[in-house]
Structure 1
């Protein structure tokens, strides 16, 4: 627990620099009150970027800032489906919320500033194809391009078959993943029989 004001301030700013964004729980973990955080915001040392979410005032916001907020508030979640497609540059769609994958027994997390749509997966499905990308200083778990394509076919009733087909085509055209990688994840997600005809058409084109 930090004590002196100087130590508190330095510790908080150091944490904000390391992690990119901080929640109220992060401050509570080091014994800093919400009133003290409010004082730092008033002085311009910290910036409130969302309800219960703070960063350094000069922290640059990227186009993927919503993913950062989700990662901070829901660290167990993995960015998936069209949100992952958008990150990988494999869709022109702009989803109105962030798609996240969670274990089947998990509750839907509350992210005050961003809407989320949840897909519940098995632990095996959640452990495959996870990449960690550093965005605004925060490590954000995102499914790989190949895993995301397979997931889009798996959950095509929710994202649309046309989105899944476009993702498959763009993934191969942009060389974001190989056929072998896509096939592996399609088999792991038990959608190889669904995806295979579309892959054969693309190969024959």
Structure 2
């Protein structure tokens, strides 16, 4: 088996048929778990805080509660992985771990994407300013108290970048609402 935690059967099949059948045997024995078609993992690896999102949802970007939790902007513990993908794209999701997929337009999806190393995985994630703007944009969906908590925690940070935050807010059309939260938070 490969050293990486998740691997695809297509790679294994290309190496040899015997390895493919050995993988299927490990699934039957319980030493491997089928996450979705072509993606297998060790049961211990599924218990980790983070999974290799790129293998499960190629091109997916960590967002919303997952990003807010990563940046320490909220005390809420994410119940699932929030992943943003291009609008109109269909993905097959595994039964476990739980994912919430958010379909975004290209312009919104390309704004503020960065990479972070989380639990040994390189994961695409929206940067902190974009994540704050998302909280304001979806304030009615997540709750006004959660939105207020996220904005206040961002304003307390020493590494905050208000000009970048306001540029993202203009792009995402939430600048007036964000200004109101900023004046309330200071």
The aligned runs of 1:64-103 (5 Å cut-off) are 64-65=49-50, 68-103=51-86
Distance in 2, matches of 1:197 and 1:84, equals 23
Provide Cα deviations, 1:30-58, integer angstroms capped at 9, x if missing partner.
455532224567999xx53553422597x
Gaps of 5+ in 2: none
Would the aligned equivalents of 1:152 and 1:164 in 2 still touch at CA under 8 Å? yes
Gap change, CA 1:175 and 1:42, over 3 Å in 2: farther
Asked if 1:134 corresponds to 2:117, the answer is yes
Number of the residue aligned with 1:190: 173
Distance in 1, matches of 2:24 and 2:119, equals 22
Number of the residue aligned with 2:20: 34
Q: Structure 2-normalised TM-score?
A: 0.81
What RMSD over aligned residues (CA atoms) do the two structures have, in Å?
2.9
Gaps of 5+ in 1: 1-11
Distance in 1, matches of 2:146 and 2:109, equals 21
Q: Structure 1-normalised TM-score?
A: 0.75
Number of the residue aligned with 1:54: 41
Number of the residue aligned with 1:146: 129
Q: How many residues align?
A: 182
Would the aligned equivalents of 1:125 and 1:189 in 2 still touch at CA under 8 Å? yes
